[in-house]
Structure 1
Amino acid sequence: MHLADTIRWFFALPDPAVDRSAMTRAELRIEAFQRQRRTPFGRGIIRYHIFLESLPYRVHGIVRIIWRATAGRWLWIKCADFAEIEIANMRYVAKHTDIPVPRVWFTYKWNNREYIVMDRIAGITFDALRGGHLQDGDKQDAIAGQMARHMAQLRALPSPPESSISSVLCGPVRCPRLFQDPLYGPTAPSPPTGPCKREATMNLQLRHLRSLETFDPIVVAAHSTAHPLVFTHNDLVPRNIMVDHATGKVVAIIDWEYAGWFPAHWEICMMTNWERQSIGLGWRGWIPKILPRDKLAYAQDLEADALLLRALGVPEHHASDNKCDS
């Protein structure tokens, strides 16, 4: 082998004697890759490119290890779509009740995303606790009693003057049951909706802007009833309840991005009808313990909401107060 051929082989250079004019770009890349695989230098280049591609993941893994060993032992970082609303909700609840919520330290933006830095909660989710076969009856009663007291406090908060169905900032609310933009699909974050000055506007949206007279009597009766506005978590499910495994103490209620002022029946409707799509029937047995009066008080509303959800699904259009017909 001549010196020039040796150099060309070692560095995986193309053979000038081969006509490549008819080859496509993809075929040229495949041929170059095959040449590189046959030489030590070429294989080194391939490994170098693989290393460069994996470098961000390696750095991310190292950063995670360092974070968990240091500040991550006390702090939790959450990527939030509407950080301002969630922070306002948590601070409002912490100020006016003794419900345990994470303390917010600060927020920041990176890559056009918002992040909330808050306390890390020492505990496990109630979902994990139930998955571990929570058999202790006394512990079950203790958890249910604590949650019932917390929800009673939340629902006793006085609504602001001239209140509407809105966030604690008096602006739009987020609720996956109320609105889903069809352009982004069902897995996208729930877009804002409202605020609604009247409950009838929210009902009209749930009916997909259809006249009330076209529905079953149970829907007519439910949507003709006015409810007081109460502060509502709106996503109260086992994954958002943090519990101390040893004592059964509820150490935090988390994920307040959907919270706001809603009609009094809405919490149990979300817990019973909406979350049944992703949570086992075992959770439904806990709902009367957490909201002991609501199942009887709002039986009609529960049935009407379930009927609408089965028949129509999630609304894809907003209702406005000036077009409300009921």
Structure 2
Amino acid sequence: MGILLNIWLLFPQNVRLYAYKLLVRIGLRLYGPTTSPSCFRLPFNLYAKAGRAVDVHEANALRFISQRVQGPVPSLIDAIPYPRYPGGMFIVMTRLPGEPLEGRLWDMSPEQRSMLASDLKQLFDQMRSIPPPQTGPKICAVDGGAVLCYRVCVDRVGPFETEADFYQWLTDRLVLKEQDRLKAFARLVHSKTHLICLTHNDFAPQNILVDGNGRLTGLVDWACLSWFPQYWEWTRSYYAKESYPPWRGMMDEIFGCYEEELAVEQELWKYTSIW
């Protein structure tokens, strides 16, 4: 596979792109569409992502994470600029086994949820041990560029030189008549210095793949991979999931609890629009 792939990557980009688009058409006939309009299952145990929202940062994130952690994450096969969408990319990656956790978590036993939490913790412990850049922005994507986090914006923002710079940007976007009160409410937490950790940043049941026994087989959708304050993965995992107790229990097992930070985040969520 390695030798054949290296030979294939010597072909011109337009030839490879034509072949991938042909595989997309074949995949749609064989497997049907996925739940995402930008994601396609291909033959040869591959997946593709393509479109306006698929960018070089996502390709860099896939390459980065697959080279640095031991665990079920997809590997980047190819990334080609996609002329149909200026700035967009056509990304090809390996397919991981399993089915999305979404919809299954309620039916799992406490023991199964605990085992899945243990599987995920091993993966996240590896990630969180990878330090941010020694120089340059600290809140940034793995290539040092802008971050994507659907908790704060639908577009990439930053990067931010310091944690304080990020909080300043975050609170400046709050509903104007509530800004002073919310900045005062957040001041204690936002004045702390947190460890900066590599963060999946879109950690949700639909991005976790499991086998028939509920064991982890994959973690996918790495477009938002960035360095953020240590608590962010945990509070972000609570976002819009307040009525999902089995999920919240697993998150506490994986990341621990940051109650002060969560209280601040939950108050800010009420007055933040990502649109």
TM-score bin (small chain): 0.7 to 0.9
Q: Of Structure 1 and Structure 2, which has the larger fraction of its residues in helix?
A: 1
2:113: which partner in 1? 140
Distance 2:195 2:133 in 1: 12
Contact 2:73 2:220 in 1 (8 A): yes
Say if 1:315 and 1:202 are closer, same or farther in 2 by CA, change over 3 A. Answer: farther
Distance 1:191 1:285 in 2: 30
Contact 2:73 2:219 in 1 (8 A): yes
Matched letter for residue 288 of structure 1: D
Computing the radius of gyration from Cα coordinates, the structure with the larger value is 1
2:237: which partner in 1? 271
Unaligned runs of 5+ in 1: 1-59, 180-189, 317-326
Moved more, 194-203 or 86-95: 86-95
Distance 2:245 2:90 in 1: 34
Say if 1:214 and 1:149 are closer, same or farther in 2 by CA, change over 3 A. Answer: same
1:314 aligns with 2:270: no
1:238: which partner in 2? 205
1:84: which partner in 2? 56
Q: Deviations over 1:143-174 (max 9, x none)?
A: 11111111111111122212421100101111
Contact 2:97 2:218 in 1 (8 A): no
SS state at 2:264 partner:
helix
Distance 1:213 1:62 in 2: 56
1:255: which partner in 2? 221
What is the deviation of 1:110? 5.7
What is the deviation of 1:212? 7.8
TM-score, normalised by the number of residues in structure 1: 0.65
Counting matched residue pairs gives 236
Contact 2:75 2:93 in 1 (8 A): yes
SS state at 1:242 partner:
strand
Aligned-pair Cα RMSD in Å: 2.7
Identity %: 24
For residues 151-300 of structure 1, the aligned pairs below 5 Å read 151-162=124-135, 163-179=137-153, 190-208=154-172, 214-215=181-182, 218-246=185-213, 248-272=214-238, 274-276=239-241, 280-291=244-255, 293=256, 295=257, 298-300=258-260
What is the deviation of 1:202? 1.3
Q: Deviations over 1:183-231 (max 9, x none)?
A: xxxxxxx211000111112112221257986437541211111112110
Contact 2:147 2:226 in 1 (8 A): yes
Contact 1:93 1:99 in 2 (8 A): no
Matched letter for residue 168 of structure 1: V
Contact 1:174 1:258 in 2 (8 A): yes
2:89: which partner in 1? 114
What is the deviation of 1:285? 1.9
Matched letter for residue 72 of structure 1: P
Say if 1:99 and 1:213 are closer, same or farther in 2 by CA, change over 3 A. Answer: same
Distance 1:304 1:229 in 2: 18
Distance 1:71 1:307 in 2: 43
What is the deviation of 1:281? 3.6
Distance 1:230 1:142 in 2: 23
Q: Deviations over 1:57-89 (max 9, x none)?
A: xxx987622577x95251112235233211211
Which of residues 249, 265, 268 in structure 2 aligns to 1:305? Answer: 265
Distance 1:139 1:67 in 2: 29
Q: Deviations over 1:105-163 (max 9, x none)?
A: 113426325332212222101114325x123x443322111111111111111222124
Moved more, 110-119 or 255-264: 110-119
Distance 1:98 1:213 in 2: 45
What is the deviation of 1:282? 3.0
Distance 2:170 2:267 in 1: 11
What is the deviation of 1:249? 2.9
TM-score, normalised by the number of residues in structure 2: 0.76
Contact 1:178 1:205 in 2 (8 A): no
